[in-house]
Amino acid sequence: MNQLDSHLLKGKLSSPETALLGLTDHSLLAVGGVLHENKPIALERALIRMGVKSLKYIALSGSGYDLDLLVAVDQMISEIFVPVVTFDDIGFAPNYRRAVEDGRVKAHIVDVTSIMAGYFAAASGVPFHPVTAVKGSDVTKFNPLLGQIKDENNQPIYISRAIEPDLALIHVQEADIYGNARLYGSTARADHMLARAAKKVVISCDRIVPTEKFERDPMATTIPSMYVDAVCHIPFGAHPTGSPGQYLPDMAYIKEYWRVAENARKSKDSVAMSNYLEEKIFKCLTHQDYLDKLSGSTIVGLCMGDQ
């Protein structure tokens, strides 16, 4: 067996810890999903345990639990480029709010259009992409992702500079061992573009399926293997956010986290939040350790279909 055959047989399966090696302080971290759907939480927990610092976080759509969790870790996040940070109807994001108000984290004013255009530019191998949706708005005054050029008539054209994340974390429902992935839900197209733009892509998947499934219907592939560096098989890997078609968001879990974080913000006492991180992340050295802390009835109650 030659080296190429050996590589093809092995594929890109990896543990989160191995897949995330190489990420350094001050890197640009991009995260897929939106709010309570398709967030790569298991990968982010592994990233927290690595101890990287001063990361710049970017996400095309809204972020909530996952970003707030990262911000709760001292000095892990330094800058944020996200259009919306919220826990939706539960309330504001407590750790994010506290960090921004205290000046520990810089939150930039950005919009979906400029981020998507930046991803598209990077994916296309060009330095920028023109955007028109921001014209006439105050976003142009404060959004650091935007620039301006002149057309042939010396009229201004707003552009979004290419955004090439150092690492993209994406959760998908199914993948094969080579990195072909299918992603269901509202962020499929956006996460496809993110995968094309990033320097390194690590995906977590709820299940591994045979490559033949992708070969039978190649047009259903959301992210082709050529854009993926590592595949982490992590069933329930988006929990407590949901995975469309697999399991619902665990809103009871998210609300309990929010209660702890909001009380810590109001009291300016970080002990309870530190205890939460210790219990839910640092003591859970594997994903199975994390799942063992969830009741079987909780997991069954969240699962959809035949999962």
Render pLDDT for 30-55 as a digit per residue (tens, 0 to 9).
Answer: 999 999 999 999 999 999 999 999 99
Pair of tokens at residue 280: 């839910």
The one-letter amino acid code at 269 reads D
Mean pLDDT over residues 144-149, rounded?
A: 93
Q: What is the pTM of this model?
A: 0.92
CA–CA distance, 118 with 122 (Å, rounded to integer):
6
Q: What angle do CA 203, 209, 213 make, to 5 degrees?
A: 115
Mean pLDDT over each residue of the chain, to the nearest integer: 92
Go through the domains of the chain in sequence order and give each one's CATH number.
Answer: 3-109+164-302 (3.40.1080.10)
> Two tokens at 193?
């573009």
pLDDT tens digits along 71-120: 999 999 999 999 999 999 999 999 999 999 999 999 999 999 999 999 99
Alpha helices in 131-281 (DSSP H): 139-142, 188-197, 211-216, 251-267, 271-277
- State the Cα–Cα distance between residues 11 and 170, nearest whole angstrom: 18
pLDDT per residue over 252-268, tens digit each?
Answer: 999 999 999 999 999 98
Res. 140: pLDDT tops 90? no
Residues 81 and 106: their CA atoms lie apart, in Å, by: 9
Residue (of 224, 243, 236, 287) closest to 15 by Cα position:
287
User: What per-residue confidence (pLDDT) applies to 304?
Assistant: 80
Question: Which helix or strand (DSSP H or E) is residue 115 part of?
Answer: helix 112-124
Predicted pLDDT at 305: 63
- The single-letter DSSP state of residue 276 is H
Phi, psi of 296, deg, nearest 5: -60, -35
State whether the Cα torsion 257-261-263-269 is positive or negative: positive
Nearest to 240 by CA among 227, 224, 251: 251
Residue 169: how many CA atoms within 13 Å on its side-chain side? Answer: 29
| Confidence (pLDDT) at 1 | 32
